[in-house]
A and B are shown apart, each in its own frame.
Chain A
Amino acid sequence: MVTLDDLKTPKTNTWCPGCGNFGILMAFKKALIELGLQREDVVLVSGIGCHGKMVNYVNINGFHGIHGRVIPAAQGIKLANPDLTVVGFAGDADQYNEGWGHFAHAMRTNMDMTLIVHDNMVLGLTTGQATSTSQQGFKSKSTPYGVIPPMLNPVAHALISNGSFVARGFSGDMFHLKSLMVEAIRHRGFAVIDVFQPCVSFNYLNTYDWFTQRVYKLEEQGHDPTDKQQALQKALEWGDRIPIGIFYKEERPTYHDSLPHVKGLDLPKLSSKPVDVTASMKEMM
């Protein structure tokens, strides 16, 4: 059984004291323990930004890739070895700015993996610029007069892109977030959790208090996560009350279900065996 101690790494944590990322880190570790997964069987993929340091703080397999590209790198890992549990961690700028193009396609493709987006509505590691989830009017170093366009709605986008598991969490409610992660990782298909995560250094607007006053749990309000219309309605809710929890989930074939020819094959081992292509060459005679 994996313990919190097993998951500890020798790296000193460099997130700011009080950073929302701590809640995500702890929720993930606890989720792994609850799921009873072996460290060797889980791969953590991260992008660039404060969230990217997750690789340094969880002692499991890790692939710290480049900005915005968590999804395709994670998909490559999953395609190579579907027995692995693949969990991607991205930031809001990482996923919703730089990596936006992959986001919708990952919903359609429905590979069996999880994406957790650390959404602090600001660029932290580059010392405070706006992202696509910064609120309209949000003043930052790059937007001294306030953000001009309205914010993106990743949850609604995930829904209309055919996401098979769409959720939102809040790092200030670690146990709730942990249970979302457990369900997301258990979900057969692509699961996304957008996680509110206050940036204590650069987001003066969307603070712990700001979120705590607003968030409420969908499951406590009788939300039916199999009703897509209702899910979309809830996704559009923003203001004094903001829902967290599972908006929508459905069972539908994963990408691998349409690849019967590689089912059960150990592809990494097969890569060591030469393949005879005479049959294809015969057609060129």
Chain B
Amino acid sequence: MITNKLSLLVGGEAGAGISRSGQLFAKACLRGGLNVFGTIDYQSLIRGGHNFYTVRAETQQVYCQDDTVDLIIALNKETILLHKDELAKGGAIIYDADQIKITKQELSRDDINLIHVPLRKIAKDLAGPQIMENTVALGAAIALLDYDPQIMNQVLKDAFKPKIAQQNIDATKQGYDYAKQNYKDMFGYKLQKTKTDGKQRIFVAGNEAVALAAISAGCKLYAAYPMTPSTSILHFLASVDREYNMVVLQTETEIAAMNMVAGASYAGVRSMTATSGGGFCLMSEGIGMVGMTETSPVVVLVQRPGPSTGLPTYTAQGDLRFAIHASQGEFPRLVIAPGDVEEAYYLTLDAFNLAEKYQIPAIIISDKYLGESNQTTQIYDQTKTKIDRGQIITDTYAGTEEYMRHKITENGISPRAFPGTKNALVRTNADEHNELGYTTEDPILSTKMADKRFKKLEALTKELQNHATVKLHGPKTAKTTIIGWGSTKGPILEAMKILNKNEDKVNYLQVIYLTPFPTDRIKTILQSAKETVVVENNQTSQLSSLIREHLLVDVDHRILQYDGRPFNPQSLAQRILEVL
């Protein structure tokens, strides 16, 4: 019997509530004290097609999905055909044999269990909609796993309005009873309520973490145009803007969103927008304007595979160079890559502070895998939220000389006043400008102003010495260093665990700040590595090229995947072993 170590997959057509039921199951695990990772795989369509949600729940911390699954809830035949080979030996498939006819040849496995539950009939008998089949199946899954059904009932009560909740509770009970009667003690996996350290935990997606952090950080304007996989930030913020006194709006284009958040920043409000690659293209000119006007909105780039429309609902890390270089000309910026839901929250807080303090654009680069996967994490510490906006002149300017928005100072940072401040006129300009913000074409002054903007980078680089711009995970003395950035963190941590089972083979260098590039720190760490392996979800290994650019060294091996799917830990460990 395997207890508290389970991967469950719910699969079916789009519109069948796949994501919802996966998340309900995940929450039931969370409330039983388990650590959970949940991720959705869906296609760019509204109805039909094939969607699946994977939940991995264990006593120990889980960082990503597993290569195999133990239990499948199949709401259509495609789910069985596509995923049966991922099923671990002794695993089971819950399905409705009245609806899905599958032959022995089609199944081609005799080491797994087929669990028929009359999902449709039960849903019909309860006079519920067809979509309720998935809750019937959840009930059956809980019975097979011998888990406490009361936990799921409470989850349903919290998720739905009373009438719908009761319908769903009845549905899970029917599924539960059916499985208990017909398949008692036949499944080798169990879930049990487990003791936790008592700290409150949440099950949160990367996009939600970024959105929560924006609220915490005092962001008062969020403007965006829908683009998968960034849209859930808009959905989340739009659903809570009234509670938090925020203005959240959907603009006509990404161009409008970008210029709007820049205008808001000029007028003194913390602002943010989010998009994916295509929208980021449209925002690029605006990002340059932010660099030139020394405003400070936060831009979230949730990557998906390109070029062009690419694979709209899948994951990639192909926009790293784009984020670093987007827009014409040269200006300092921040590019920050969180690797999990904890970093997504705390690094977003940092992004708001650093952007404002240094009056530069801050780009948070994540991807579909991080943005739309949920993970359990400790609740975000609200006492840790510190707001640092740099020097601001509020209410009345008391200086003796005329206020200069772009005053040249020792560190390049000009004290900010916002329009409406008495005795100060605040002028900024996308054209090259003088300290007062008036247009200039003078060669000496133009050089001075360009130098002023880059001077800020020195101060920023100095401050970043107090930030975790990189993290070294695992045994310091390992011979091989795996290098990655962003959402590959989960699969790499899991692969490292597999590889280091018997000896300390590898460690993992996670690069968090991509601009400014933490050259010195990476250099120090790589000095003790005999061999390096870069792992990335892109085709040309953009991180390798950055390492070469900044350190003048080549990495030894590159493991790349660009099929829109995240790495799975076991196969990643295998690929690493093959190159060593």
Q: Is the CB of B263 within 8 A of A73?
A: yes
Question: Does A280 have its Cβ within 8 Å of any Cβ on chain B?
Answer: yes
A64 and chain B: residue at smallest CB distance = B429
Q: Is A151 an interface residue (CB 8 A)?
A: no
A residues less than 8 Å from B259 (CB atoms): 65-66, 69, 72-73, 76
* Chain A nearest Cβ from B407, distance in angstroms: 16
| Cβ-defined contact, B427 with A72, below 8 A | no
Surface stretch bound by A, among B120-128, B197-205, B455-463, B539-547: B197-205
Q: Are A274 and B263 in contact (CB under 8 A)?
A: no
Contact indicator per residue, chain B 235-276, by CB within 8 Å of chain A (1) or not (0)? 000001111111101011101111111111111111100000
Which one, B158, B247, B263, contacts A259 given CB within 8 A?
B247
Contact A278 B379 (CB under 8 A): yes
B420 touches A281 (CB 8 A): no
List chain A residues, Cβ under 8 A from B220: 80, 262, 267, 270-271
B426 in the interface (beta carbon within 8 A): yes
B258 nearest CB neighbor, chain A only: A72
A62: Cβ under 8 A from any B Cβ: yes
In the docked arrangement, what's the CA distance between A84 and B427, Å?
A: 14
Contact check, A11 vs B269: say whether CB atoms are below 8 A apart. Answer: no
Proximity bits, B267-311, A CB within 8 Å = 1, else 0: 111110000000000000110010001000000000000000000
Nearest chain-B residue to A45 (Cβ)? B263
Q: Collect the chain A residues with CB atoms within 8 Å of residue B575's CB.
A: none
A81 and B428 contacting across the interface, CB-CB below 8 Å? no
Residues of B within 8 A of A64 (CB): 427-431, 433, 437, 439
A35 CB, nearest partner CB in chain B, Å: 17
Report if A34 contacts B (CB, 8 A). Answer: no
- The tally of residues in A whose CB lies under 8 Å from a CB in B reads 59
* Set B260, B421, B438: member contacting A72, Cβ < 8 A: B260
Please determine whether A40 and B387 come into contact, CB atoms closer than 8 angstroms: no
A102 CB within 8 Å of chain B: yes
Given A76-B223, A76-B261, A284-B203, A273 and B387 contact (CB-CB distance below 8 Å)? yes
* Contact between B430 and A62, CB atoms less than 8 A apart: no
Residue of A nearest to B292 (CB): A66
**B255 surroundings in chain A (CB, below 8 A):** 69, 72, 101
Q: Flag if A11 contacts B439 (CB, 8 Å).
A: yes
Closest chain-A Cβ to B436's Cβ sits at a distance in Å of 8
Residues 54 to 68 of chain A near chain B (Cβ within 8 Å): 55-56, 59-66
- Binary flags per residue of B211-250, CB closer than 8 Å to A gives 1, else 0: 0100111111101000000000000000011111111010
Given A77-B263, A80-B264, A265-B245, A274 and B252 touching (CB < 8 A)? no
Contact A272 B218 (CB under 8 A): yes
A76 contact set on B, CB distance < 8 A: 221, 223, 259-267, 271
Give every chain A residue within 8 A of B265 (Cβ-Cβ).
Answer: 76, 80
Q: Known interface pairs A62-B429, A285-B201. Does A72 touch B268 (Cβ–Cβ under 8 Å)?
A: no
Give a binary string over B419-447; 1 marks a CB under 8 Å from any A CB, 0 the rest.
Answer: 11111111111110100011100000000
Pick the contact of A261 from B202, B241, B264, B429 — CB < 8 Å? B241
User: Which of A76, A259, A262, A274 has the most chain B CB atoms closer than 10 A to its own CB?
Assistant: A76
User: B30 at interface (Cβ–Cβ under 8 A)?
Assistant: yes
Complex contact B212–A280 (CB within 8 A): yes
| B208 contacts A81, C-beta separation under 8 Å | no
| A10-B385 in contact (CB<8A) | no
Instruction: Specify the chain B residue showing the minimal Cβ separation from A98.
Output: B255
Closest Cβ neighbor of B426 among chain A residues:
A61
**Bound CA span A52–B428, Å:** 12
Contact of A39 among B216, B244, B425, B438 (CB under 8 A): B425
Q: How far is the CB of B291 from chain A (nearest CB, A)?
A: 12
Docked Cα-Cα span, A270 to B394, in Å, equals 12
Inter-chain contacts of B271 with A (CB < 8 A): 76, 80
Give the one of B223, B242, B262, B285 with max A CB within 10 A. Answer: B262
Contacting residues of chain B (157-172) with chain A, CB-CB under 8 angstroms:
158
**Chain B CB within 8 A of A215 CB:** no
A11 to chain B, nearest CB (A): 5
CA distance A24 to B221 in the complex (A): 33
Chain B: minimal CB distance from A93 (Å): 16
Alpha-carbon separation in the docked complex, A10 to B427 (Å):
14
| A81 CB, nearest partner CB in chain B, Å | 5
CB of B438 within 8 A of CB of A63, answer no
CB of A80 within 8 A of CB of B267, answer: yes
- B382 interface contact, C-beta 8 A: yes
Cβ contact within 8 Å between A275 and B438: no
Please state if A277 and B382 are interface contacts (CB–CB under 8 Å).
yes
Chain A residues near B244: list those with CB within 8 A. Answer: 275, 277
Complex interface: chain A residues within 8 A of B439 (CB):
11, 53, 55-56, 64
Q: How many Å lie between the Cα of A72 and that of B389 in the bound state?
A: 24
Question: Closest residue of chain A to B419, judged by CB?
Answer: A61
Tell me which residues across on chain B come within 8 A of A53, comparing CB atoms: 439
B454 within 8 A of A: no
Q: Please report the C-alpha to C-alpha distance between residue A272 and residue B357 in the assembled complex, in whole angstroms.
A: 12
8 Å CB contact of A274 from B243, B385, B421: B385
Q: Among A11, A52, A77, which residue has its beta carbon within 8 angstroms of that of B419?
A: A77
Whether B453 is near chain A, meaning CB under 8 Å from some CB there, is no
A276 at the interface (CB under 8 A from B): yes
Task: Report Cα–Cα, A102/B429, bound state, in Å.
Answer: 21
Residue A25, interface by CB 8 Å:
no
- CB neighbours (8 Å) of B437 from chain A are 55, 62, 64
Q: A10-B438, A277-B212 are in contact. Are A63 and B425 (CB under 8 A)?
A: no
Q: A229 near B: Cβ within 8 Å?
A: no
A279 interface contact, C-beta 8 A: yes
CA–CA, A81 to B507, complex, Å? 50
- Given contacts A76-B262, A77-B266, is CB(A276)–CB(B382) below 8 Å? yes
CB of A167 closer than 8 Å to a CB of B? no
Q: Bound complex: CA of A105 vs CA of B252, how far in Å? A: 7
Question: Are A268 and B382 neighbours in the complex by a CB distance under 8 Å?
Answer: no
CB of A74 to closest CB in B, whole Å: 6
Which residue of chain A has its CB nearest to the CB of B421?
A40
Is the Cβ of A66 less than 8 Å from the Cβ of B289? Answer: yes
Q: Are B247 and A79 in contact (CB under 8 A)?
A: yes
CB nearest neighbor in B for A283 = B158
User: Could you tell me the distance between the alpha carbons of A64 and B221 in the complex, rounded to whole angstroms?
Assistant: 21
What separation, in Å, do the CA atoms of A262 and B249 have in the docked complex? 13
- Asked whether any CB of chain A lies closer than 8 Å to the CB of B147, the reply is no
Q: How far is the CB of B152 from chain A (nearest CB, A)?
A: 15
Determine the chain A residues whose CB is within 8 A of the CB of B385 once the complex forms.
Answer: 274-275
Question: B452 near A: Cβ within 8 Å?
Answer: no
Q: Is the CB of A285 within 8 A of B216?
A: no
The answer, yes or no, to whether B548 is at the interface (CB within 8 Å) is: no
CA distance A281 to B204 in the complex (A): 9
A83 and B420 contacting across the interface, CB-CB below 8 Å: yes
Flag whether B418 is at the interface (Cβ < 8 A): yes
A-B contact pairs, 15 of them (CB 8 A): A45-B263, A55-B437, A63-B293, A72-B259, A77-B263, A77-B266, A80-B269, A80-B271, A101-B255, A262-B246, A268-B269, A271-B220, A273-B387, A284-B202, A285-B203
10 further A-B contacts with Cβ under 8 Å, apart from A64-B429, A65-B289, A65-B293, are: A40-B422, A41-B420, A55-B438, A63-B428, A72-B255, A75-B260, A79-B269, A80-B269, A101-B252, A281-B212
4 tightest A-B CB contacts, nearest first: A76-B263, A268-B268, A80-B267, A76-B260
User: Interface on B for A, CB 8 Å cutoff?
Assistant: 30-31, 158, 200-204, 208, 212, 215-221, 223, 240-247, 249, 251-253, 255-271, 285-286, 289, 293, 379-380, 382, 385-387, 389, 392, 394, 418-431, 433, 437-439
